[in-house]
Amino acid sequence: MASVKQPFISGGIIMNIWENAVLTDKGTALQAKLIQGQTLKISRVTTGSKKVPIVDLRQQTDVTEGGYDITLQPSRTEGEKTILPVLLENTSLKESYDLWQVGFFAEDPEEGEILYCLAQASEAKHIPSATEGPGFSITWDFVIKTSNTTPFEVDLDSVGLVSIEQYQVHTGEIHSLKNSIVNLDRKFEDLNSALSKTAEDLKQANTRLNNKADQSSLNSTNTKLNVIGTVYRNLKEITVGSGGVDSYSGGASIAIPAGTYIVTAKGNFTSNASESTRRVQVYNNTKNASISTSSCYGKGYLSFKEVCILALTEQNILSCRLSTGIGANLAGCGTEIAAIRIK
C-alpha cells in the first residue's frame, strides 16, 4: 500500500483522450469523510462500453454496461500529483467492444464499495478481442492532484500485476510474430517469381519442340504448356465503406478459366487516425462466396495481402474486397487481384 495526500478531483483526472472526468455524488460524500480522517482505498478499475450525457456522469453508481475490469498498477507520487497507472489487455477477451468510460471504485466505510470517480472519452476506443487482435494492450497514467490533509491509499493485488520483464517478453513475442508474417509474405513473392520464370521456360521449350517434332503429335501438349504460367491481374482504387469489418467493399476483379491457380489479393489502406481491424478478402463473385480472408490491426497507412491456392472446374470471376472497423468511409484505397495458373 502506498500512502499519499488527499486527492482533489475538482481539477479532474488528467488524460488527453478523456473529454470529461468527475467525482461522483457518492465520491463527493466519501470525500467529506476523508477530511475527517478516513483513508481512501481504490479497490478496482473498470471500463464501460456506453456513453451517457455529461450532465448524468455525477449520478452514476456504476460504469456503463459491457465493460471489463482492468489492471490497476502500483501508484507513484510526483510532488502534489498521484499517478495511477492502469493496464488493459485483451488476453481473455472473447468479444470486441468500444471503450467509452473508465471508473475508479473505492471502499466507503459505511456503504462498502462505491464508484468514486469516472472519466468519459471524447470518442470510443475500439478494444479488439483476443482473436481479432492478438497481443493487444494499452497503458494509461491517470493523474490526481493532492493536498496536505488526508492520506490516500491504493490497495493492490500483486497477482494481477504484470512486471516489466513479463511485458517486455510479451512485446518481443508480438514483434517476432510480425517478422514471421513479413518473411512469409516475401516467400510468396519469391514463389510467384519462380513460377513466372518456370512459365517462361516452358514456353521456350514448347517453341523448341515445335521446331523439331511433328506438329500433329504435339497439339495436345502445346495446349497444356501454353496455359501454365498464364497471369491474370487487375487494379482498382475504391472507397471502403463505414459498415464495419463484416461489411466489405468490392474492388479489382478478374475472370479466369478452369484450372488451378495461386491467387493473391492485396489491399493498400489510406491513413486514418483511428486504430481498427483492416481485412483483405479473396471473393468469388460467380459463387457469391468468400474464398480466403486476412486481417491486420493498426492505424495509418497499411498494406497487406491474402494468398491462396484455388482449383476451378469452370470460368469464375474473382475479386479483391476490403473492410475496416473505423466506422467511417476510407477513400483512395488500392485493390489488386492476381492469379497465376499452375495446373
Q: Does 217 fall in a domain?
A: no
In a domain, 290, yes or no: yes
268, 334 contact by CB (below 8 A): yes
Residue 214 maps to a domain: no
Assess contact for 151 and 131: CB atoms under 8 A: no
Of 137, 162, 187, the residue at which a domain comes to its end is 162
Same domain for 257 and 124?
Answer: no
Q: Is 223 exposed, middle or buried (0-12, 13-18, 19+ CB in 10 A)?
A: exposed
Per the structure, the count of domains in the chain is 2
Nearest-5° Cα angle at 280, 139 to 285? 150
Claim to verify: residue 6 and residue 145 sit in the same structural domain: yes
Report how far residue 233's alpha carbon sits from residue 210's, in angstroms, rounded to the nearest whole number. 29
- Cell numbers for 25, please give them: 455524488
Amino acid at 318: L
Q: Is residue 263 part of a domain?
A: yes
Query: 247 and 125, same structural domain?
Result: no
If asked whether residues 152 and 240 sit together in one domain, one would say no
Q: Do 134 and 235 belong together in one domain? A: no
Residue 205 in domain:
no
Range of the domain at 27: 2-162
Looking at residue 177, its pLDDT comes to 64
The DSSP symbol for 131 reads T
Helices and strands, counts by H and E, the chain: 3, 19
| One-letter identity of residue 226 | N
- The verdict on residue 172 lying in a domain is no
Same domain (yes/no): 122, 237: no
Same domain membership, residue 79 and residue 156? yes
| Whole-angstrom distance, CA of residue 119 vs CA of residue 20 | 6
Among residues 144, 162, 180, the one where a domain terminates is 162
The Cα 15–Cα 122 span in angstroms is 11
3-state secondary structure of 15: coil
CATH of the domain at 331: 2.60.120.760
Q: Within this chain, do residues 155 and 239 fall inside the same structural domain, yes or no?
A: no
CA distances from 134 to 74, 91, 138 (A): 26, 7, 13
Residues 57 and 156 in one domain: yes
Confirm whether 330 is domain-assigned. Answer: yes
Q: Residue-wise pLDDT tens for the chain (343 aa)?
A: 333 333 433 333 334 567 778 889 998 888 888 777 777 788 899 999 999 998 999 999 999 998 889 888 888 888 777 788 888 898 889 999 999 999 999 999 899 999 998 888 888 888 888 888 888 888 888 777 655 554 444 433 333 334 444 445 555 565 666 666 777 777 777 777 777 777 777 778 777 766 665 555 555 555 555 578 888 999 999 999 888 888 999 999 999 999 999 999 999 888 776 778 889 999 999 999 988 888 887 777 878 888 888 899 999 999 999 998 888 888 888 999 999 998 8
Residue 140 and residue 11 share a domain: yes
Q: Which of 139, 162, 185 is the last residue of a domain?
A: 162
Buried-state track 277-296, b at ≥16 Cβ within 10 A, e below 16: bbbbbbbbeeeeeebebbbb
The grid cell for 100 is: 467509452
**132 and 277 belong to one structural domain:** no
How high is the pLDDT of residue 172? 59
H or E, element range at 142: strand 137-146
Cα dihedral 45, 46, 48, 52 in deg (nearest 10): -40
Give the Cα separation of 113 and 319 in Å (integer).
Answer: 55
Residue 77 lies in a domain: yes
Regarding whether 134 and 39 lie in a shared domain, the answer is yes
CA-nearest of 32, 30, 96, 90 to 61 is 30
Q: Which residues pair with 76 in a beta bridge?
A: 83
Contact status, residue 41 vs residue 154, Cβ threshold 8 Å:
yes
